[in-house]
Structure 1
C-alpha cells in the first residue's frame, strides 16, 4: 500500500521539478543579478524548436544556444531591451512569447476583444429570435386580449353573449 503511494508521489515530484532542469549548471552566471536578468529574459523568449515553450524551459539545443547568447550579451553590458532587440533582429518577432504592440500586430491584439464582442452579439441575437414557450410569462402576456379585442373576436366567431 505504501509502495504505490510513494511511487506516484515521486512521479509527481519529478514532473514538477523537470522544467527547472533545462538550464544546466555550466550556463549559470556567477553574478546573481545578471543571472536573474537572464532567467527573466529567457522566460519571455520562445524556443524556435518547441514553439510553445520559453527557452528557459526547453531542453532543445537551439534553446541552450539562445540562453548562452542572452547571457553573453548581458555580460557584455547590454540592457534587457538591447538583448531582446538583438534577438528580434536575428529571429524576427516570433521569438517573443508576448508580441509587442505595433500596427502590424494590431490584428493579433484586437482578435480577442473582437471575437468576444461578436460572441455577445450572436448570443443577444439568438435570444431575441427564440420562440416563446407556451406557459411562460411572455406567452401569457401575448395571449391576453383587451376587452375590445375579445368583443371583436366574439363578434367574428358569432358568439354573442
Structure 2
C-alpha cells in the first residue's frame, strides 16, 4: 500500500465566490493562489487558497447548487450534528494563543460572532461561521495527541476490538 502524505486540499461549495474570497483572504488572512473555471463543469468557478506547506483550501461556486439545510448540510453550532458524508467543521491551525487572539479580534471587528476559547486538553479553539454558515474552528495545539486520546471505552462502544485497535493505531 502507498501511504498518503497529507491532505492536498479540501473543496467547499459556496453560494457567492466574491464574498467567500473577501472573508477568507481579508478576515482570515489566507492568500488566493488560483481562480479559474472548474474543469469540465460549465459555469462553475474554482478557487484555491494557500494554507502553507503545500496545503490548500478550495472553493467551488456552481450555477445552481442545491439549497443548504442547517443540521443536514452543516451543523447549527460546534456541538450539533450534520448529515453523514457532509463536512462538520473546518479547523484552521494557528501557531499560538497570541495569533489566535489577533485573528479573533479581526473576526470581531468584521462584525462576525466568535466564541470564547475552549480548552480541549490538547488544543485551544475558538469557533465562528463562514459566509455560507460553514462551521469554522481556529485552534492551536498545546501538546501532541497522546495515549489519553485513544479512549478504550470509546473503542468498545463503537465495537472496535483490541486487535482492530492495534491495526488502526500502528
Question: With structure 2 as the length reference, what TM-score do the two structures score?
Answer: 0.21
| Greater radius of gyration (CA) | 1
